Structure 1
């Protein structure tokens, strides 16, 4: 019988066989960790829908061509694969689980090549949702890159208030200007200024 890979005693990228694993001494061998979705028939159908000579990524973060998903895609541009009847998984997640390890709960796959239909595992990385959002090109990234408010004041430490509820930045100079408007003054200050 072939030795099974120990999933409990990983040391970086090196895995040990159960016979050598000190954590498994006296315990029955565990099966290798693979997602139940990755079956032989489904895997063959999956790889028929992949073009491994796709475009080269525009980003300089990865090497090699993208493995382009050529079958159906979601509205957001990610590949969609049906490993079983009535089940749909994202193609890049299926490729990662088929060629690497299962994706831990609470983590997502980031496309380092920024090509949503790429399923090349060398172009993918398991990260938290917050890290994936930081790396992306969404509205939060564009706002984070802004150095000046719409009125032209710099977002410096002295001139910026961080809102406690949503971590949004508020320009203090603009807030002072806004608070001086007549409709924002208290009745006491309005009477004082009228006199």
Structure 2
């Protein structure tokens, strides 16, 4: 415990965040080495205070302050993943009742994904942002092509849409590739019979 406390800055006082000054994980949580193993600092502390290590993944070391390097026992509690996520969402101040994104796109099942801590996200806005970033790098504007590379028009009777990937292909070119492949297979079969 003395080694642990030597790496905690308690200058914020009893009500403030006690920041971990040692090494950290990429997530910002403190990293503490004890008994041949690296531990998440605040989780190790909760286990030591309780007298036994937390049972991962059922038990989590949760922060009331949403500050990953904080190791103030007054800001920590033991909870499960659902409680931790719900607590973070409540503290985020996000309005979960919204029906449209700030750009006006409706939150439909096909146009929404839920970020664990940042609330609802609009898929259309994400696509638009990605397209703008690609254009800024010099890419041509998106959209469906009207002709294939060989110049065949991609109209309804000449368009094949892959059922799993949604990729659009020219049926004429697809048939030409298949004919070429079938011709090569017949040639191989003739060579095999002749040998």
Give the TM-score normalised by the residue count of structure 1. Answer: 0.46
Higher strand residue share:
2
Computing the radius of gyration over CA atoms, which structure comes out larger, 1 or 2?
Answer: 2
The higher relative CO (CA closer than 8 Å, separation ≥ 6) is in 1
Higher helix residue share:
2
Give the TM-score normalised by the residue count of structure 2. Answer: 0.46
